[in-house]
Chains A and B, each alone.
Chain A
């Protein structure tokens, strides 16, 4: 619960306008989705675990409603239903508050935060992935953060391929995911040692999972299954494009970003900015999402957290003055 008054409100508005202007320049159409919708929509869109963090209540007829915990679910349904006849690709952007329950004293404490987001629906491949990465980079640099941000990228299929190769039961797969996510090297070592297949070793070098092209080279030394190799190829191609755009010093490859495996199907990204203790944005490719609403097609997008960005920039202004 946060008030923005005077200069802070103006700063927040400027950040929002800057992001929306960049989206508009790249031909993204603004979309305004309902703040309140049936809970089922969000469960289909986000999966049960995430949707349950939404604030839920009942309608007159007893049906379960929710304050939207994300915008992507609504946009995906819109694309699959209302706009099913429109020619692809679809490009949409939004600036909209979302609402989630948060654990007490958690660093991501905001129950309400405004997402500046975009969705590119109906197109696959590097061009689309690269487009959203460039958009994110462009917004951050127009906010004068060009020296202070890092965007990490990963392809979740690298993990999925290894997990499939090791033939893990669901509980084991979740354990492996958690150990990689939190970089628990000693426990991870013990887990991997239990398998004769060496591919899991790719995730062992906790201090070398983040970096530039060399990360991919190291991973290729142990990973040979075709699913992961295809993902590594795809990530490497994307990296080459990032290099040729001169953005390599603002991007990092992070093979341990496996926090939302059930949601993303390829590229995943996180945005970090100096001065914020948690990530200020995230996104990726979710080709499985629109299928939940009756029309499967590729989709990629990201969101930036307006309130977190405002806090960082407001503090920066105070420090300067």
Chain B
């Protein structure tokens, strides 16, 4: 067998083993627990410390490709906000974000026996093109940017929006963000321009880029990075949701990848050693 064929075969074995390592814990959960990190705690505390009756803004800046990571976060934050008596405005800077919001609201409604009333407890204003320009315009007038909600209701006819003239009237912004436009722009506009507390949930890939914003200037009030942070938020709320269950295969896969990295390094070291030995023999 040539070395190229062996490499291809080895790669296929790695894919197969990884698929099995992820599938088995999905079918047979291991019951692994997750530790809560300060980043998640900060985001939780922001929602927890906001008084009941406050109007808050959740921005759904993602689409179905990142639903595994961001949807559990969105559901957990909606549940927390509703438990605290907050009224939620949902917006979307990504075209399919508004559908993601609808799905999240529908799922969490089940936990509240469908008692949350559209227009009183939550509203979905839908998608707007423009990213940061739209956010800045929301700082001047929410109604000008969103004259109607997703269902076609006029802004002024939605009871919970009475008194919400601009972005400054919401108590915090929580962006679930898979890229641009998203959390970066909310920090720039909502926090740094209008001084509204901003927290965020991002995919794990983009989480390291947002860590510097969790600083003493409070540019971000906590950060949920990837599936693990979603599981931590569920833990803080006291239930095991989709994220907690999916952390079982995640943890197994991580252990497997560490083993594979170790094997790869040993193989590379042995190969280098044999090349060196051959070179010294020839010399």
Q: Do A and B come from one complex?
A: no
Q: Which residues of B contact A (CB under 8 A)?
A: none
Give the interface of A toward B (CB within 8 A).
Answer: none
